[in-house]
Each structure stands twice: as C-alpha cells, then as structure tokens.
Amino acid sequence: MPSILPATTIGSLPSFGKDLDESLLQSTKFQLSHGIDLLTDGEQRTDMVSYFAESLEGLGVQNGVPIITGRVSLSGSAGEFSKVKDLQSLRSRFPNREFKVAITGPTTLGMTCASRKIASHYRDLSDFRLYEDIAEALAPIAKALADGGAHVQLDEPFLSQGYRDLAERVRLLDVVAKDLPRERASVHVCGFVGRFGVVNHLLELSKISVLSFAFAGRTEESNILHVERVGFEDHGKRLGAGCISVTPMNRGEVNTPEQVRALLSNICGRVGRENVAYAHPDCGLRATKKELVPVILENMRAGLTLFG
C-alpha cells in the first residue's frame, strides 16, 4: 500500500491575531491540527506583495499601495528579511517539522508595483530590467530560507496571463532559485495554465523540481488536460496538486472528501502517483472566508485519507 500523499498549503492563512509571535504559533498549531505535513509560515505579517515592497530597496508603499521608487536591489542582509526571521522563529519552536516558505516571483511582484507607479529608473512596466533586478534581489533571500532548512516556493500567478516574453520571464525563476537545492524548490502558478505554453515553459526550468497548479476551481478544472506523465518524467519534475477550491461562499460549496478523492485519482491518472509531490488547496487561504478555512483543510485531509 502506498503511503498517503503529503498535505501542504500554498502559504497564506487568515490572520491569527495582532501579536506576531502568537500569530505565527497559532497558525502553525492550526496547520498541525488539520493534518498538514509540510507547514508554511501562514504569511501572518501582510500580503504577498507588501512583504517585499516594505523590505527591498527600490520598492515602496505610498498611501497603502506598493510602487516602484527606484532601482530594485536587496537592502542589507538577506538574514534580516522578515520571512527569514519568521522561519527562524518557527524552526526554533518546531525543530522536527518541515516548512515551506513562499516568495513572490519577479513578474508578479514587479507588475503589481509598476502598474501603480514608477517614480524613477525604469521606463515603464514593460522595462525588462525591472524584473531582472527583482530576480537578483530575491535570490539571496531564497538562499537564506533554504539555508534555514525551508523548502522555497516561488509564487507567480501572473504567468498564467500570458506574455510575449513568457520564456524569458519563466527563466527568471531559475535566477531566483540559482543557489537552492533543486529538490526543495517549487513554483506555484494559479489560474488556468492551458494557454501560451505555460506548462511547457515551466517544465524547462533547471533549478525547480515541483510545479504546483490548481485543479479544483471552475477556472482551473481543465488544467488537468495540460499535465501529463511524459512531460513531468522527461524533465525530472513532480506535481503539487491543488485538489480543493479556496473560493466557496458557504459550507455547502466546500468540496467534499469524496470530490477531493476523485480529483486526486484523476490527477494521478494523468501524471502518475509517484510524480505527485504533495496535495494542497488550489491557492492561498488569506482571502477565503475565515470560518470555511478549517472545513477546507478537514475535507482535504479526509479526501487524502480516502484516496489512500
């Protein structure tokens, strides 16, 4: 009998309080109580963009909006970055647990900030130097997280939107991951990945071992048609399988354990069970109704148990 697939989350969880240390502790205990194997920091400080807009030289926040203020670079030591500090805190409290920490990728981070305002240095949001500079600034942070024992996940939801220079944008992920152990580096792209050759481009990454996609939501359910065993095996990749939706509006809309089991069966039928690294919700849970998050994780765990 094969062992049950490991469970993880994409990264963000609802806030567990205003006190950071207590919030980190409670988010971790919450994950453990709901059967999560590969834990995350729960992104308890802020959202996936503000973490970096508040910490990298050349990024800033103006009237609550992230913007480009100048050339982007790493300011100070990577060890001082907030996510690295949070990882250290969590590892000291849970030394025998594995953690995965998410970093917002160059395209998503750059596009989000540049679409609001570029104060200097870059021509406009199409200036590719912006994304190259962000990739170089993120690489030491990624290394510091890996050196701290974490799996590192690069979040690039914007890549599913399609770009003329998509291949070059995907290759920037290898720049961010250049100093990481390949087996602990992953990329998460939410949304529909069946256009623009997104999956094929991601398969070409040399420093990334796991590609994480969503399969449960209405927009993402046809993603299953765009993953296959031969592609993953030929490129030495494994799949992170999004198996439960994060957008229900009430308890009755949460995917049932039986639906989770059926979806996992279909996914493994496409890529091979041995090529699935872990299962997770489709996306982060920060924007999900807080009272539904426990139900989602409970049903995911129950579905994994049914799948066996």
pLDDT along the chain (308 residues), means of 10: 89 95 98 99 91 90 94 95 97 98 98 96 98 98 98 98 95 99 98 97 99 98 98 99 99 99 99 99 98 99 98
Q: Which residues contact 33 (CB under 8 A, 6 or more apart)?
A: none
Is 126 domain-assigned?
Answer: yes
Please give the tally of structural domains in the chain: 1
Asked, for residue 161, whether it belongs to a domain, the answer is yes
Cα 161 to its chain centre, rounded Å, is: 16
Report how far residue 112's alpha carbon sits from residue 5's, in angstroms, rounded to the nearest whole number: 34
The verdict on pTM exceeding 0.95 is yes
Residue 104: CB atoms within 10 A of its CB come to 24
Residue 170: inside a domain, yes or no? Answer: yes
Q: Is 70 helix (H, G, I), strand (E, B) or coil?
A: strand
CATH of the domain at 96: 3.20.20.210
* Inside any domain, residue 139: yes
Q: Is residue 27 part of a domain?
A: yes
Q: Which domain holds residue 48?
A: 20-307
pLDDT in the model for residue 55: 82
117 three-class SS: coil
Q: How far is CA 128 from CA 29, 69, 133, 135, 160, in A?
A: 41, 16, 9, 11, 18
Give the pLDDT of residue 2: 67
Q: How far apart are CA 234 and CA 272, in angstroms?
A: 13
Do the strands 65-73 and 57-62 form a parallel or antiparallel pair, or are they unpaired?
A: antiparallel
The token pair at 157 is: 């939801």
Strand order in the sheet with 98-104: 38-40, 98-104, 151-155, 185-188, 210-214, 238-244, 276-281
Q: How far apart are CA 240 and CA 208, in angstroms?
A: 12
In a domain, 3, yes or no: no
Residue 11 in any domain: the answer is no
